[in-house]
Structure 1
Amino acid sequence: MTIIKNYITIFLGLMSFITFAQENKDDTSYKKRVLEATEVDFLTSYYSQNGDNAAVSGGIGTEKLTDATGTFVVAIPLNEDDVLTIDAGVSAYTSASSSNINPFDGGQRADPFVASSGASSSDVWVNLTGNYSHSSDDRNNIVSGKISVSSEYDYFSLGFGGSYSRLFNEKNTELSLSANVYLDSWNTIYPFELRAFGNNGIGFFRPTEITGNVNYNPSFTEFDKTNRNSYSLGLGFSQILHKNLQGSLALDFVKQQGLLSTPFQRVYFNDVADSFIEDFQLADDIERLPKSRFKMAMGGRLNWFVNELITVRTFYRYYFDDWGISSHTASIEVPVKITDRFTLYPSYRFYNQTAADYFATYETHLSTEEFYTSDYDLSEYQANQLGFGVSYTDIFTKMHIWEFGLKSIDLKFYKYDRDTTFSSSIITAGFKFVMD
């Protein structure tokens, strides 16, 4: 923790120095505030998914999951130049696949395609982020810094970072630089049947109930380190090309080190005889992946304001990493303003990727391999997403809740399908309030 405290102290010191250097104490002329009044956003969503390739049960089994989230984002103007933003969110989910970390603690027969009703079937994720931004007097320099913390039952993350943006060419051109660090730690939870064979295990818990290979004796060792550090660097360039056309480019680098495997995701080997209890196959091992990963992504946006009613927003990104995955993402959104207050948002997104070098399907890996996973998020697949949204905007904030006027409401729905068995849908709602 001493190292973390030193990082934070150095970071805050640099932010204070940059902010002080950018202030112009001789300028006593009127300045428009960066943010005129406190704004409050309430965001909520409901997500559901299904599929038959759960990583928790080695690439087979139900992937059914539901998740409900609620987030408050409060932006507070500290003065003409500075804004403090607080982002607090809670996410609660129920997961059929993660419930099978221990498939034997429910009241029904253990089966990878049936959710267990045990303790691992649900969880709550909480997050708190604070962001401070400072704009120079001419509004051409923007510096920001943030600190975040998030936690769930088996995971804790501390993050901090900052960004710098420079506008020039009469604010038609913008360059930006951002950097972030995340220090994460796992509370390692292993598949239930493997725990007895770990570092302090004393043997299997229900040996008389095993069918198939009754001499179940997996060669399982626990992870020696349970931390993961992620470092990211982002470069951005934005340019107004025409009064109706704006483009931007982005380049992102991410380096991860530490425990990059998920401890409770099973793997089944082709060269090891199968063992079962009830209808659930006992794990041969857990997912094991390299302790480092480098990612790189480059992409661009092009927004065309066709007229006062229609805008076309396009996006493309190419991604690759040193695990063998490369991907292409392309999307288009066409906001259509149907009245002064209502806008429709139809959208489409295409995605495809190659498989990681360490991925193989159920019972395809060999026990002699060094790295292995059957997580279909690392497989080769193609996906399509259709979306539709509607927004309501009232710049005069006629509707009020206490001292806050309702500025906008956004509702959106997305349907996502992979060319595997996986599919999902999400509905989101956002409400923006402004203090009068």
Structure 2
Amino acid sequence: MNSFQSFLAAIFFLVALSVCGQQTPDTTNDYKKRVLETTEIDFLSSYYAQDGDNAAVTGGIGTEELTDITGTIVVSVPLTDDDVLTIDAGVSAYTSASSSNVNPFDGSGPADSFVASSGASQADTWVNLKGAYSHSSDNRNDMWSANASVSSEYDYFSLGFGGSYTKLFNEKNTELSLYANIFLDRWKAIYPSELRPFGTGGIGSFRASEIMGNTDYNPNFTEFDNENRNSYAIGLGFSQILHRKIQGSLALDVVQQQGLLSTPFQRVYFSDIEDAFVENFQLADDVERLPDSRFKVALGGRLNWYLNERVSARTFYRYYFDDWGIKSHTASIELPVKLSDTFTIYPSYRFYQQTAADYFYAYETALSTEEFYTSDYDLSEYAANQFGLGASYTDIFTKMHLWKFGLKSIDLKFYRYDRNTRFNSSILTAGFKFVSY
């Protein structure tokens, strides 16, 4: 049994104890509705696939093909009438043609930016564990929570913690919330394979006898001094019931990042440096270089409208900007349609548009004299459309059972995403919620 399986077994053991140990309430006391009536378990999974022609790993050209499978379990346990403990654990395993070309020469075929390498860098696993504790006041008008998280993959480790406070007033028609989170991350920097011999600042060599084009290939490459990345986030939320059928909300999010904000294995090719090739693969002139700080601001709003007992509308808009020069607009709408007491479908549409970062350069357009540069198309100017369709089943009486848990709901969602940089992706998600009885 691996460590994650052992962890899941431990969670189920704790859940079993919590279910068996729940006490019969004292009927002599005044009744107070619990924040969470019984233990709940959510099983979540997703399958994600993408493709495109502008891989950042290969300097803005090459395949972006990637597949990812994720599994998550979320356990919420009522500790008392007012307190809830939530444990969230997930594993994501992906195979990436793009990241496989961090070292394109470790495969069985000729290296090529449009062909995946079959070497070790083609796959990785991400593991995440998060715990949260929340407490509500007796009148349910005040709630605070605290959380801590840890996640890890081969070249990245993250430790996070934070908290939130929510206040309800005006007969619970108005809600104000505040949150703060800190993430302390560390890279295990992995550089493109051809640059590694030059990383110490000395005179390196990389299969010199095989180089075509610029046979004097000698990039001016140095490794990053700092491999830490810290992120500090705060947010404010305001929600108001405007009408018995309309609810609106506003949110402000501010993020400050410091440290290594470049991705160490993403290549850049300069227009003023002669190209060098081994096999069919162009050797990097450098990796992306970005500022060591970034300030982000997002302001958004939601408007939910209950049209009738069958149909409602959920709308969203957000404006974002940062000090790297990116400005973006996001708008979306979802239309839940209740087909029966148990089945609901919800088609959705999302539009996104952004300007390019000041430091973005397409393939072979950056100059070696620039201080900062990247060919990551996530930082380019683009527009994107996403269409989605979801379906949910609610078992009101939890007729279906798994051990000591009854099935409460099933949710299935599919999204198709297309952006005008020749990039597209699809994701299928499934969620199953069980409650103890």
Fold match, TM over 0.5? yes
Q: Which residue does 1:19 correspond to in 2?
A: none
The Cα shift of 1:201 comes to: 5.6
Q: Which residue does 1:119 correspond to in 2?
A: 120
Cα distance in structure 1, aligned partners of 2:316 and 2:201: 51
SS at match of 1:250: strand
Partner amino acid for 1:175? L
Q: Which residue does 1:311 correspond to in 2?
A: 312
Cα pair 1:331 1:349 within 8 Å, conserved: yes
Q: Which residue does 1:10 correspond to in 2?
A: none
Cα pair 1:195 1:201 within 8 Å, conserved: no
Matches within 5 A, 1:32-431: 32-199=33-200, 203-431=204-432
Identity of matched residues, %: 76
Cα pair 1:52 1:63 within 8 Å, conserved: yes
Partner amino acid for 2:384? A
Cα pair 1:181 1:232 within 8 Å, conserved: yes
SS at match of 2:121: helix
The Cα shift of 1:200 comes to: 6.7
The Cα shift of 1:66 comes to: 0.1
Cα distance in structure 2, aligned partners of 1:269 and 1:293: 24
SS at match of 1:99: helix
Runs of 5+ consecutive residues of structure 1 not aligned to the other structure:
1-27
The Cα shift of 1:319 comes to: 0.1
TM-score normalised according to structure 2 size? 0.93
Runs of 5+ consecutive residues of structure 2 not aligned to the other structure:
1-28
The Cα shift of 1:29 comes to: 3.1
Cα distance in structure 2, aligned partners of 1:342 and 1:51: 36
Cα distance in structure 1, aligned partners of 2:261 and 2:214: 31
The Cα shift of 1:395 comes to: 1.7
Cα distance in structure 2, aligned partners of 1:74 and 1:177: 24
Cα distance in structure 2, aligned partners of 1:282 and 1:218: 9
The Cα shift of 1:217 comes to: 0.2
What whole-Å deviation, never above 9, does each CA across 1:218-249 have from its counterpart, x for those lacking one? 00000000000000000000000111000000
Cα distance in structure 2, aligned partners of 1:221 and 1:37: 56
Cα distance in structure 2, aligned partners of 1:131 and 1:238: 23
Cα pair 1:267 1:373 within 8 Å, conserved: yes
What whole-Å deviation, never above 9, does each CA across 1:98-119 have from its counterpart, x for those lacking one? 0000000000010000000111
Partner amino acid for 2:269? Y
Cα distance in structure 2, aligned partners of 1:311 and 1:402: 35
Cα distance in structure 2, aligned partners of 1:110 and 1:40: 46
Partner amino acid for 2:143? I
Aligned length: 410
Cα distance in structure 1, aligned partners of 2:220 and 2:201: 13
Q: Which residue does 1:23 correspond to in 2?
A: none
SS at match of 1:182: strand
Cα pair 1:269 1:363 within 8 Å, conserved: yes
Cα distance in structure 2, aligned partners of 1:395 and 1:79: 24
Cα distance in structure 2, aligned partners of 1:339 and 1:136: 36
What whole-Å deviation, never above 9, does each CA across 1:320-367 have from its counterpart, x for those lacking one? 000000000000000000111000010000000000000010000000
Partner amino acid for 2:119? G
The Cα shift of 1:30 comes to: 2.2
- Runs of 4+ aligned structure 1 residues displaced above 4 Å come to none
Cα distance in structure 1, aligned partners of 2:432 and 2:240: 30
Greater mean alpha carbon deviation, residues 194-203 or residues 256-265: 194-203
SS at match of 1:193: coil
Q: Which residue does 2:5 correspond to in 1?
A: none
Cα distance in structure 2, aligned partners of 1:192 and 1:57: 12
